[in-house]
Structure 1
């Protein structure tokens, strides 16, 4: 990133987060909005994005802002202009860059949110010293991204890295994407909350701590609440996170067989559980890894930029696209 500020916007299943980002990847101003329900019109999500951008522009001199980068939770076209499909939002072949350009008069870059997060970790975080990395973002679902020879690999149609929708259980749980048995149905924030709510709703005696934290209503349970209970020593919450972590490790072992990265970077809201999640993940990864004991084993690390990785990376990609036109996702 060259000098000046860039707006980065990270659009997830539950929130739209935005920040003013400088050339070192530091956020110097921020704001957020709740993501409108996925049944609402795309224009409502667009309104939330524009509101975030306008608030951030008001926090500084407008001439200081070079561009706007959008990280979207969905399948982004190869030319990075359209959101082809978003499982957790209402976008279907949505011309997002064109729509936003009519309202935000700055250069706009659109990319997948996991691509943005990996680019941030590669430029400023835990993956700075590697050329081959895989990003796994655990939030509402699972997002993913690939760095090969220092370049983001988007695939022929821009949709590479959608690991969360790999089938891991034939005829398994129904996924919002329309298929069954997707990885994110077993290892994600939604999976964690679903399992916890099931225990609380059944009034299981092992869920008494969670029941109390939820004031007796399963609908009140959230991922951070479960993580907090686990840190406080609630055995059921620890087991729930371990189950999510085990599924995470199994999926990463499958990816290692195909991709052979040096490091897996785990981000997203669920990664806040740290070793409560990654301890079981590393154990399962080691057990499932093809050729275990006879090959170098990829590291599994928490994203150092935490929940800010998506917006920092979106800003960096937007800035880089001005400095180095051409194939995006290459080092400056």
Structure 2
């Protein structure tokens, strides 16, 4: 029984055909377009492409935004065009398959619980570092979605009063300091503050008129660029501070750090662990959570969405 999972993020739409064991057989990818019509065209096009090659039975959409409790409607998505949009119904009508929505971090966490870094954990939190921050909580293998389907929205915890503006409409949110977007923002600020202090990053980005991205900052850090390394140290500090808040609320057994930024975890995760362990409430008098990197990488969201779609369709009479 094959299903399609899609990870619909602020930067890209990734779709894959997934088996019941979590194996990804085939994938397609496209840049995330602006506007509702173009976005839904891209999603339906990816589904049609894969469905033409594989006998699929259902579709799961992992969405970077607030998904209603019935998992049919996107209420709000800071990095996408949907606002109170009945996405599942519209996509299902066009592709002729059952469609289920899920928050992208919930989908990734579910996949990591089934097949990856959170397997067997009684209380597990996933923090997905990408364009923003996604968060998810599982208790005994059950996703916690809150009363209205939107919990836990960890990326918009306010860490810095009157801090950087956020697309959610507030300022100082965690994801403005700890995400791929935040890493690029910090690097640009440091380049302006310390002109002449960067070699690799300035030559790679500024000198060639290219856009600063988190991926380029991480690459420059690997090459020893001092500004890029300082930007990653800043990200590690904010990651540790945010995880300390998360631990105070949920007391997790394991925290899985996923998302695109986690590919560069060797550059920052040890420092984040040290920061977390030093600033958590009761440090030294309680066991800290194990902080692990996601094992499924970029595939976690689409794998989780596909598995959830399979389970939802088998429960339907």
Smaller-chain TM-score range? over 0.9
Q: Tell me which of 8, 28, 46 is aligned to 2:5.
A: 8
Distance 1:218 1:193 in 2: 15
> Structure 2: any 5+ residue segments left out of the alignment?
none
Tell whether 2:41 aligns with 1:47: yes
Q: What is aligned with 1:116?
A: 107
Q: What is aligned with 1:329?
A: none
Shift of 1:325: 5.4
Q: Deviations over 1:83-142 (max 9, x none)?
A: 000001111101101110110111111010000000000011011121210010100101
Tell whether 2:234 aligns with 1:237: no
Question: Aligned residue pairs: how many?
Answer: 317
Q: Tell me which of 245, 253, 256 is aligned to 1:265.
A: 256
Tell whether 2:151 aligns with 1:154: no
Shift of 1:217: 4.7
Kept in 2, the 8 Å contact 1:201–1:218? The answer is: no
Q: Deviations over 1:304-324 (max 9, x none)?
A: 001110001100110111234
Kept in 1, the 8 Å contact 2:204–2:210? The answer is: no
Shift of 1:220: 2.2
Distance 2:79 2:234 in 1: 23
Distance 1:121 1:230 in 2: 28
Distance 2:192 2:209 in 1: 6
Distance 2:179 2:79 in 1: 13
> Structure 1: any 5+ residue segments left out of the alignment?
327-332
Tell whether 2:184 aligns with 1:187: no
Shift of 1:277: 1.9
Scaled by the length of structure 1, the TM-score of the pair is 0.92
Distance 1:218 1:273 in 2: 24
Q: What is aligned with 2:301?
A: 310
Shift of 1:219: 4.4
Distance 1:12 1:216 in 2: 30
